[in-house]
Structure 1
Amino acid sequence: MVKKTEPNVENNENDYVSTKLSLLDKDNVVISDVHKEILEDEIKELPPIKEGELNVSGAYIFDQGDKYEIKVYVRNGLSENLNLEDIPFVIKGSKGEILASQLFDLRALGQLPPHSVRPIKIYFNKENVKVDKIPEKWELALNGTFKISRKVKTRYEGLPEKISDKDKKVLQDFLDGLPDIEEGEFSISTFSIGINTDGTILATCVMRNAALKPITLEKVPVTLLNEDRKIVNSNEFKLKDFTVSPYRARLCNFSFQTGVKPEKAQELKDWSIVYKLYRYKK
């Protein structure tokens, strides 16, 4: 086993952020308090990182014969959650030369909270190592371009002023239950579909904007499907002054006229919306 030698880093407290140990729920249950203390002591020995940085530090490397095991501390220096996917790692020598390189899938690391650090073990296959033996002085680093997905938590804007607290809770529960949305994405999710006594089918959706800029919609293609997934209506709706602010969610209604007039308003269970146009026969 070879311990990694840490480089000398000049520390300016105004430029650096501290990171706290963060474990996945399943690890937090099985790891003992003594083991957690050991992890925290190792974290204290890591070189400081600056605000906004993603950092990896190797704690040790162990030759397993056909591969090298490396214990890594991944630190999130950003003030927001991070989800890492395919990340290229390299092992460098004392002169900065690349000794090994390999791509690792870090989805198992889970979502990293702001200013947190989480340990993980990675395994370099010997076929990806350029030297016969990793020297005593080595360093683990990130290399090239890689994808960091940032999950965005949106909040409602523009809700009706007279909406009841009960309806607010229903809407909030729906928003909280939607799949995570990554920074830069825009999504439309169907909230409800129902028919009124005048024969109008009203479809309500929630639009989420995870981009850094406001997004204005002028047209939205909408196809209404019944419980048998058959097309009931397909139309392109024109929206007027409809803008969703950054990191916000907004309700939008689409109405379809029918010749059916039920005695009372009712939910159309198992009906759905597809946000594209289809040809259909009336």
Structure 2
Amino acid sequence: MNLFSFFKKTDKVGADSAIDSNQLVQDTEASSDNKEVTTKLSLHPEWNVPLEQQYVFSFLANELEPLKPNQLSLAAINIEEDKRNGAWYVKAFFRSSIPNNIELGEIGLIIVDKDGKRLASKEFDFKELGTLPPESARPWVFKFEKEYLETKEMPEDGWTIAFNLIALRGHQLELDESWKKQLPQEQQELLAKVVKELPKLGRKEVNFTGLQARVRDDNSLMVSIFIRNGNDQAINLEQLPLEIIDANGKLVAKGSFKMNPALTVQGNSTKPWTFIFPAKTVNAEGADLSRWTAKVVQ
């Protein structure tokens, strides 16, 4: 693995982004010592590092600030752009202040500028980094291909590479305050269970899943829908054109709903919402609503 050419004597260690280790690592031994931890340089065991390059790594590692006990961290160094394809090569130290070895799997990372604006996001397989020894720091290069970048401009000083905490927490149920007030705690827990059992969303996928449908006495149709956001950033819905299709493929209702204010669904979350189709937009005669689909009209 030849990453050595990316690290130079002129590099400087930049901003550090640290989290509590229990957000990523379960059942690990935690240190009860409150003293700050100075991490030691750890090179991948499969690397055959030239002596001069070892000096570069050692120099950079010595610039790292101590961590608090039981933390995982990413310390930014530099970004180089591949002029051929626009990819970013992000140099950083992956650091641990916990007192035992760790090995991680798929982890989402983000790049943010000095003002907190997100510039890129991507999932990486941390198994490639190998086992990280206790209280150590391992240099690595994270490649963000152009498709994962959310800006055309390279960041200035003060940028950070960080763990994507929204992606880490797992997909969650998001209830509007009005739903929280109306639903007993048992029903809220049941909805959360249903959300967890739904098929996993794709990256950046937004999905509309039917929850409940009922034709009312005035022949209007009331439907409750799960709005599922697979992005790790919030989405805002201002206008939603919907069709309701029954179990036999019959168009039961069609209408467009204007959200004022916009309906926000937080990143990596599912929010249930209720829509009422006026009777004049509903054709429920002979409809089979034992199963139905909500379709967003393009």
> Normalised by the size of structure 1, how large is the TM-score?
0.45
Larger-gyration structure (1/2): 1
Q: Hey, which of these two has a bigger chunk of strand by percent?
A: 1
> Normalised by the size of structure 2, how large is the TM-score?
0.43
